[in-house]
Amino acid sequence: MGVDELYPPDRLTAARRATAAAGLDALLLTPGSDLRYLTGYDAHPGERLTCLVLPAEGEPTLIVPRLERPAAEASPAPATGVRIVDHVDGTDPYPLVVAALGGPVTAVGLADRMWAEQLLALRAALPDAAQRLAGEVLRELRIRKSPAEVAALTEAGAAIDEVHLRMGEWLRPGRTEAEVGTDIAAAIRAAGHVTVDFVIVAAGPNGASPHHGTSDRPIGAGEPVVVDIGGTMASGYRSDCTRTYLAGGGPAPADFLDYYAVLRDAQRAAVAAVRQGVTGAAVDAAAREPIAAAGFGPAFLHRTGHGIGLDGHEDPYLVAGNDRPLEAGMAFSIEPGIYLAGRHGARIEDIVVCTTDGVQRLNTTPTELIAL
Ligand code: ZN
Ligand code: ZN
Ligand code: ZN
């Protein structure tokens, strides 16, 4: 998979066309997934300004700090046709943005997660320009993944599956969540990720907190343990997979096996519901209905899933109210959970891709409860 396939130059053309169609004069993209999507440049976010200026009409310019020029030149960005302009420490880079726009502008689209200090500096440099979100334009381009992007997500899914398959090496009663988490983080890197984005090891009562992280609490014998892990590959694309384990050395809590079976059926039903034309809300309902029917409705306290790509969470979201039909190429998580406060919890998460004839799971390890 070549970099030119993953970050093809024609994205800039598509983005310029969409920018004009949205009534914007230009996009201004500081470091983040939108900049990387369009240029392949994994820019360093810092207090020095890095900004892609993409006028709807005219040439794209990538403004970078001089000390980061070599990194920008080594990235796929030059091959996409952007001109690189640098600024030295101690000079004001914002006039370079104004110059790169090539004329007066009335509305610009800013990277959705631009830092406030940059947003305010751009407002001062372009006082007559309305500021909107670049996401209005780029979300629609990013929501359907190309075959090269699906291949990159497949590679990420296989890498995180490798880590889950090794869980028995680390997850034992008496070890703390943090100790297990350290081993998992090393394995996430060893499996081919360049960064570890999150490691959740949530044992016993901590399993009832969906975004727990890790703690110094030792894992108890027979405790359910929610392990949700993910990282970013060199391609820029991300993994995210949850399995729930049962620590060895003791029996499972009385009701846990029953509700785990409900959760597993719900997760499978939601995966099976994915196909072109079905809405995100309908897939959410497919996961939620069996859980509610078993009496655990309020214990499933988050949406069923989120899109994934260059961001860990992006469109589409599988949530009540999302009436947009799924389309081939959309990639997202299916991750229902049941959380019983003060006691324990469970979650099962796979990344899947909507295909022309159904659904493809990118995480393929079994979803049965795994007793270690
Ligand atoms: Zn989450
Ligand atoms: Zn996750
Ligand atoms: Zn997720």
Residue 81: how many other CB atoms lie within 10 Å: 13
Residues 68 and 114 in one domain: yes
CATH code, domain with 353: 3.90.230.10
Give how many domains the chain has, as a whole number: 2
Q: Which ligand is nearest to the CA of 198?
A: 2
Question: Is the same domain home to 323 and 273?
Answer: yes
Ligand index nearest the alpha carbon of residue 229 = 2
Using a CB cutoff of 5 Å, list residues around ligand 2, an ion. 228, 240, 242, 349
Host domain of residue 17: 3-142
Q: Are residues 125 and 198 in the same domain?
A: no
| Ligand of minimum distance to the alpha carbon of 302 | 1
Ligand 3 mean position, distance from CA 305 (Å): 6
Cα–ligand 3 centroid distance for 4 (angstroms): 28
CA distances from 209 to 78, 173, 181, 212, 339 (A): 45, 20, 16, 5, 7
- What span, in angstroms and rounded, lies between the C-alpha atoms of 28 and 35? 9
- Going from the Cα of 302 to the center of ligand 3, the distance in angstroms, rounded, reads 11
The pLDDT value recorded for residue 9 is 86
| Residues whose CB falls within 8 Å of the CB of residue 263, separated by 6 or more in sequence, listed in order | 291, 336, 337, 338, 346, 347, 348
User: For the whole prediction, is pTM greater than 0.75?
Assistant: yes
Ligand 2 centroid, distance to 44 Cα (angstroms): 25
CA of 259 to the centre of ligand 1 (A): 20
328 shares a domain with 192: yes
- C-alpha span between 183 and 175 (Å, rounded): 11
225-245 per-position pLDDT tens digit: 999 999 999 999 999 999 999
325 and 202 co-located in one domain: yes
The domain spanning residue 65 has which CATH number?
A: 3.40.350.10
Distance 99 CA to ligand 3 centre (A): 41
Same domain? 133 vs 156: no
| Domain match, 50 and 152 both | no
Per-residue pLDDT of the chain (372 residues; tens, 9 = 90+): 566 789 998 999 999 999 999 999 999 999 999 999 999 999 999 999 999 999 999 999 999 999 999 999 999 999 999 999 999 999 999 999 999 999 999 999 999 999 999 999 999 999 999 999 999 999 999 999 999 999 999 999 999 999 999 999 999 999 999 999 999 999 999 999 999 999 999 999 999 999 999 999 999 999 999 999 999 999 999 999 999 999 998 899 989 999 999 999 999 999 999 999 999 999 999 999 999 999 999 999 999 999 999 999 999 999 999 999 999 999 999 999 999 999 999 999 999 999 999 999 999 999 999 999
Instruction: Determine the distance separating the centroid of ligand 1 and the alpha carbon of 332, expressed in angstroms.
Output: 12
Model confidence pLDDT, tens digit, residues 89-133: 999 999 999 999 999 999 999 999 999 999 999 999 999 999 999
Question: Is the omega angle on the peptide bond into residue 65 within 30 degrees of 0, that is, cis?
Answer: no
